Structure 1
Amino acid sequence: MTPASVIVQRFGGATAVARIVGVHRTRIYTWLRSGRVPQAHQLKLLTEAQRRGLPLTAEELIGAKPQPEKAVA
């Protein structure tokens, strides 16, 4: 899943996400096409997820993949 699709799924749809960040819902569909969530909205979404008790990490929001731990020689 892309970061944008994770956000839309967790918050219950494009309209809900649009209300949270204060943009028209068509902007959220643009995010879904690109797969990305603009940096300008990331903190707002993380804060709102925490307030609502929704599971959301910064890594999911930016699309980072966990890196395996490297063994120390």
Structure 2
Amino acid sequence: MERHTTIFELFSGIRPMARELGEHPSNVAAWKRVGRIPAEKQPHVLAVGLRLSLPITAEHVVFPLGRPHAAYADLSPMPAHVLCDRPAGSQRPAAEPII
């Protein structure tokens, strides 16, 4: 199985990444914990990585821990149709549109 390098590994860890970005280490640790860099921070992270000559791409910034579907490649696809098994009487009636 091929191992993908995370953006945090490219920066040599959370603290070095935080130092280079001018962010608090707890912010960068939170990014790693949730697996997402906030959209407003992504251009800055990419620019700093490129300035440091890191082999960083936009994909590293958007998917900092790797593409999510790669981990689920061995799962079967979701069923095409989702059916509601509740009787029609227990569902709320549709609301009238307000004009």
Q: Which structure's residues are more often helix, by fraction?
A: 1
Please indicate, yes or no, whether the TM-score normalized by the shorter chain is above 0.5.
Answer: yes
Q: Does 1:26 align with 2:22?
A: no
- TM-score under structure 2 length normalisation: 0.53
Question: Alpha-carbon deviations, 1:18-73, whole Å to 9, x = none?
Answer: 122222111111111100011122111111221121111112211285xxxxxxxx
Q: Which residue of 2 aligns with 1:6?
A: 6
CA root-mean-square deviation: 2.4
Matched-pair contact (CA < 8 Å) for 1:20–1:45: no
| AA partner of residue 22 (structure 2) | G
Identical-pair percentage: 32
**Structure 1: 5+ residue stretches without partners:** 66-73
Pairing 1:1-73 to 2, within 5 Å after superposition: 6-63=6-63
How many residues align? The count is 63
